[in-house]
A and B are shown apart, each in its own frame.
Chain A
Amino acid sequence: AQSVTQPDIHITVSEGASLELRCNYSYGATPYLFWYVQSPGQGLQLLLKYFSGDTLVQGIKGFEAEFKRSQSSFNLRKPSVHWSDAAEYFCAVGEVTGRRALTFGSGTRLQVQP
């Protein structure tokens, strides 16, 4: 069965600093990978996704992620964090066939200091 690990429960960065959120996955084939963001009391918003092709994918709000098959990783990055980026971030792996459901990591809470 597939699984997703987000090793950092909580990260604090200063506004304007760079950000990297880690994600490792386990899946039996080439995965579909996603990053979602959840603001307090809100639903999930898709930041970016990877299906195939270029391993560096661009998303909304200036985020990008790089798929590294050899490391089973899909880390999320942003060169300069804004205070409005404070939220919870979830990495997920999507099933390529069958029920096409998502398996989520436990999330990383990002706090941004002024």
Chain B
Amino acid sequence: NAGVTQTPKFRILKIGQSMTLQCAQDMNHNYMYWYRQDPGMGLKLIYYSVGAGITDKGEVPNGYNVSRSTTEDFPLRLELAAPSQTSVYFCASNPTGESLSTEAFFGQGTRLTVV
């Protein structure tokens, strides 16, 4: 059982470049999330999805886009990378909305540096 898998683990981008951070989960969870973690800070929600075809913005969505074409995959797209997007990105998933548990399962993270 792989859980939540993120790729790549590390990436260096130049200002203005674009990239997609991949996230896949094999637990059949409906809810998926993207968070970013800046140094000395907690995680902040970028985007979330409550099921295939449904996405919405979190607290810090500017400069990012997401899609959710399948239950398993929730890629995060960075267009026109900026130094302010240097961060560690975590993908997470959550069991179905009917569950009383909001326990999130996290991937290992992607460390992104924009230079």
Q: Which of A36-63 contact B (CB under 8 A)?
A: 36, 42-44, 46, 49, 51
- Interface flags for A86-114 (1: CB within 8 Å of B; 0: not) read 00001010111001111111110000000
Q: Smallest CB–CB gap between B14 and chain A, Å?
A: 24
Counting CB contacts under 8 A, is B74 at the interface? no
Counting CB contacts under 8 A, is B102 at the interface? yes
The answer to whether B90 touches A51 (Cβ under 8 A) is: no
Count class of interface residues, chain B: 20 to 34
Counting CB contacts under 8 A, is A11 at the interface? no
Counting CB contacts under 8 A, is A81 at the interface? no
Residues from chain A with Cβ under 8 Å of B58 in the complex: 101
Query: Which residue of the partner chain A has the closest CB to B108?
Result: A43
The answer to whether A90 touches B43 (Cβ under 8 A) is: yes
Tell me the total A-B contact number using a CB cutoff of 8 A: 60
Q: Smallest CB–CB gap between B26 and chain A, Å?
A: 16
The answer to whether A9 touches B97 (Cβ under 8 A) is: no
Query: Which residue of the partner chain A has the closest CB to B97?
Result: A100
CA distance A95 to B40 in the complex (A): 23
Counting CB contacts under 8 A, is A76 at the interface? no
Count class of interface residues, chain A: 20 to 34
| Given A43-B90, A43-B109, A99-B50, A105 contacting B102 (CB threshold 8 A) | no
The answer to whether B102 touches A95 (Cβ under 8 A) is: yes
CA distance A51 to B99 in the complex (A): 12
Residues from chain B with Cβ under 8 Å of A36 in the complex: 106
Residues from chain A with Cβ under 8 Å of B19 in the complex: none
Residues from chain A with Cβ under 8 Å of B107 in the complex: 43
The 4 closest A-B pairs by CB, nearest first: A104-B42, A94-B102, A43-B108, A44-B106
- Chain A: residues with CB nearer than 8 A to chain B? 4, 9, 32, 34, 36, 42-44, 46, 49, 51, 90, 92, 94-96, 99-107
